[in-house]
Structures are given as C-alpha cells and as structure tokens.
Amino acid sequence: MPKNLAPPSALIAPRVAVSSGGSTNIERLTDDELLAEQRRLAEERRQIDSRSALVAGEIARRSRRELGYAGLAQSRGVRTPEALVQQQTGLSASDARSLVRVGSMLSGQSASGTNPVPWLAPVALAVHSGALGIEAADVIRAGLGEPSDHVPSSALATAASELVQLATSLTLERLASRARRVRDELDENGIALREQERRDRRYLTLTPRPDGMTRVSGLLDPESAAIVSGAVDAITSPRRGGPRFVDPAEAPASAATEDERTVPQLMLDALVDLVRIATLADTGKVLGAKRVAVRVHVAERDLRHAAGPAFIEGQTDAVSLATAQRHACESGVLPVVFDRDGQTMNFARTQRTFSIRQRIALAARDGGCRFPGCERPPSWTEAHHVNEWQNGGRTDIADGILLCRHHHLLIHNNSWRITRDRAEYWLHPPAHPDRVQHPQLMPTKHERLRERVAG
C-alpha cells in the first residue's frame, strides 16, 4: 500500500473486530489471534488498494495526452493524471505515480491508453484478487521491464507468474531484487546496459536550508554504493559492536567504541573526513586497521570466456564482466575456489578466530547474513561456528557461517541451532515459538554466483 495513504480506522481504533466476529480489546488477543488479525487487515487493505488503482488507471485513461484540455486532469486545472490522483488522495508524488502505473496495468494498457501489457496479466489478476499489493505489483513490473529481441513477452509472462507465487514469502526489497535477477537471467546480454542505466541515474545534491544546515540527497549506483558503504561501515563498525571472534589486530580501538556520537553522526563525519583526506594516504585516524576494498565475485569460467554476470559484495544487482575485469586490473585477483558442493576451500585453523582470508571466503560463499529473511551484507556479519567452539568445533570454513550480530546473539541466547548437510545449512528454532521445530533452509545470498560456478 502506498506509504502515505491514511490507514483504515480499524487500524487505529482501540477496539477492533477480529476474524471470528465481534469486538475485542487488542491487548486481550492471543499471539495467534493477533497475527491472524494483522493478516486479515492486510488482505482488506490490498482489496482497497486494488480498487484505488483501478480508479487511478481510469483517471489516467480519461486524461490521455491526445485529449488535451478536454482530458479529465487538465479540465480540472491539473497538468497530469498523477498530479490529479495526488490531489484527490493526499499521496506523495511517487506513490501517486505508482498507483497510476499499476491501475493502467490492471486495465491491460499503459497510462496513455495504448501498448497492451499481456505479460503482466498474472500480476494484474493477483492484484484484482487481493493476493498482491500495489507496491509488490509495481516492483515486479519495474524489475521485469519490457520485451526485447532477446526476451519475448511469453518469457516475461512466465516470470511474472512465478514472481507472484513468491511474493507472499519475500519482503518488498527482496521481491524487487528477485525480479531484477530474473530479468538478468533472461537477458544476460543486457546486464551491461542496465548497469549503465543505473550509473546514469546517480546524483548528489546539496541544498542549503533556511536554518543554516545543508541537506544532502542523492542516489548511488551499485559500484559507487559498494565503495561508500565499505568506507562508512569500516568507520561505524565499532559503534555497532564490530564483528566478534576476529583476530585481535582487527578489533576496534576502545576510543572508537567510547565515541559519544550517534551512528548517523559518525556516518556524516566519516564522509566529511573522507573528502578532506581524499588524495592522502590514510594514517589510521579514520579507517583504522581496516582497509576498504570493493570485492567483485565472478565465476572463473565466466571471467575466462568474458560472458555472464559478476557480483559486487554487499550489492544485490549484477554488474557486467567489464566491471569485474576493471577491478581485476586495478586490484588483482584473489581466487576463491569452490568444490562441487559449493563449499569454499578449507583454511582450517586450530584457534577460535576466523582469519581475514577465511572471512573473504565466507563472504564469497554466503553473501551476507544467512538467517532467513535477513539482508545484512558481509561487512555487518560475524563468523559463527556451526559446531560450537567450546564443544570441540573447528574453525573451518565448512563449519563457519555468516550471521549479523542480532541473529548471532539470537542463536546463542535463545536455543536456536544450525546444522550442516554438505553445502546446505539448516536453522532449527527452539520449541517456542515453533513447537514442531521445523528446520528452515538458510540460503546463500550468492545463489546466482553458486549457480554460475556449478555451470
């Protein structure tokens, strides 16, 4: 649902009607009833959104450009149908545009009333039925893009249907990433073009404010984001607690952990400091012992044949082989070898901490925190022993797995367990809240790289 749309009164009333009928106090609902009520309200909201999108689509149709001043929007003194929808709903300009796009999709046409989009029929049907929300529909549409010489509309229709089925189990961000991934898989030749399109959209603006402050806003393409995020993560890591169980040389200085600035303030000061010393060698005052590097992961056979995708560590979208080759030229190549099961080469150690080389290998294999649904990148993770160190576990890559600090503590403090079956890792919840204790697969965030390696 568009984020600025006023919520139904049922969401803010002190008493709500539950699925079983009647009215009850929210605080008296059981855990299961509370979650069921939230799902029911979400379904009702999707139904309302669907109707709202249809209306927005019809407003757009009646405001087609060729109608000129006779069109609905211009006849009401508004330049575009999106602006008219925004005026009527109080939505942001971005959400109004999204509502018009999805509404036009539901009617099987573009906002101008032409160009039918049959490959999005599965998405439209899911929105009509209330199974799919407006925002989810919009990210599927944006991620799949348009048919091309290499990608027929029939392939996009099949992909759209598969994404609709996955939508209920994915966050909006992961659904958007999955849609872009599907497009890359259908159109590898277009990866470089899409990478360039994202790069062309990058910008930075500095806007002076009346109070003497300056607002910073902008967009970073994946490669730029990897550079900036790596530097900022290195500086703010001590305040986040920093990775535990690492070599003492990598531990944060006590002065950094005692800094009274907030993390957002640290991030801003970090950018200012980085600009100030842009052309100077770091003396350890800003980044400390941690050297910032952009790591690009690519299957060796793809690099050898100059065909296929590459992946920047911590970023979700693929980049071109040309980008991977450029980084290889600038920084050299550190091979990380995978076996048939997708495990990285073993750097077994007799001590508790994981080495820098082991963490590089774990990052290449895991791609970030492997707790289901977590999106933390490798720089925010800690290496966890699947077989606990204190119980005789070894510091081997195969028995290590990356977890963010929150989920690492959850595993240790709340009786969760992780088991390994060759290259697959399984999460076992405690008896509460999952009485049956169904194991959950902990997928790698680098599934695409693993598929490329497997050939």
Q: What is the mean pLDDT of the chain?
A: 77
And the tokens for 101? 């796009």
For the ranges 70-79, 81-90, 372-381, which has the lowest average pLDDT? 372-381
CB-CB contact of 201 with 254 (8 Å): no
pLDDT for the residue numbered 357: 78
Contacts 24+ apart (CB under 8 A), 431-439: 433/31
Q: Which of 305 and 215 is assigned the larger pLDDT? A: 215
CB-CB contact of 128 with 53 (8 Å): no
Q: What are phi and psi of 54, to 5 degrees?
A: -60, -45
pLDDT at 341 over 50: yes
- How many whole angstroms separate alpha carbon 136 and alpha carbon 139? 5
Residue type, 444: T
Mean pLDDT score, 47-73 = 90
Residues 395-425: pLDDT tens digits? 778 888 898 878 887 887 777 889 988 888 9
Mean pLDDT score, 371-377 = 85
CB-CB contact of 138 with 53 (8 Å): no
pLDDT at 378 over 80: yes
- How many whole angstroms separate alpha carbon 301 and alpha carbon 453? 8
Mean pLDDT score, 360-366 = 85
344: β partners:
338
Residues 88-140: pLDDT tens digits? 999 898 889 988 988 888 876 544 444 457 888 899 888 888 888 888 999 99
- How many whole angstroms separate alpha carbon 340 and alpha carbon 151? 31
Q: What is the 3-state secondary structure (H, E, C) of the chain?
A: CCCCCCCCHHHHCCEEECCCCCEEEHHHCCHHHHHHHHHHHHHHHHHHHHHHHHHHHHHHHCCCHHHHHHCHHHHCCCCCHHHHHHHHHCCCHHHHHHHHHHHHHHCCCCCCCCCCCHHHHHHHHHHHHCCCCHHHHHHHHHHHCCCCCCCCHHHHHHHHHHHHHHHCCCCHHHHHHHHHHHHHHHCHHHHHHHHHHHHHCCEEEEEECCCCCEEEEEECCHHHHHHHHHHHHHHHHHHHCCCCCECHHHCCCHHHHCCCCCHHHHHHHHHHHHHHCCCCCCCCCCCCCCCCCCCEECCHHHHHHCCCCEEECCCCCEECHHHHHHHHHHHCCCCCCECCCCCECCCCECCCCECHHHHHHHHHHHCCCCCCCCCCCHHHEEEEECCCHHHCCCECCCCEEEEEHHHHHHHHHCCCEEEEECCEEEEECCCCCCCCCCCEECCCCCHHHHHHHHC
Tell me the range of 50-64, 102-116, 311-325 where mean pLDDT is highest.
Answer: 50-64
| Confidence category of residue 359, pLDDT binned at 50, 70, 90 | confident
Q: Which of 99 and 434 is assigned the larger pLDDT? A: 99
CA-CA-CA-CA torsion sign (261, 263, 268, 270)? positive
Residue 137 CB: number of other CB atoms within 10 A?
Answer: 29
Sequence spans of domains, the chain = 9-197, 220-335, 356-454
pLDDT for the residue numbered 161: 93
pLDDT at 240 over 60: no
| Confidence category of residue 24, pLDDT binned at 50, 70, 90 | low
Residues 157-210: pLDDT tens digits? 999 999 999 998 888 888 998 999 899 989 988 888 888 888 899 998 989 888
| Plot region of 233 (φ>0 → left; ψ -120 to 50 → alpha; else → beta) | alpha
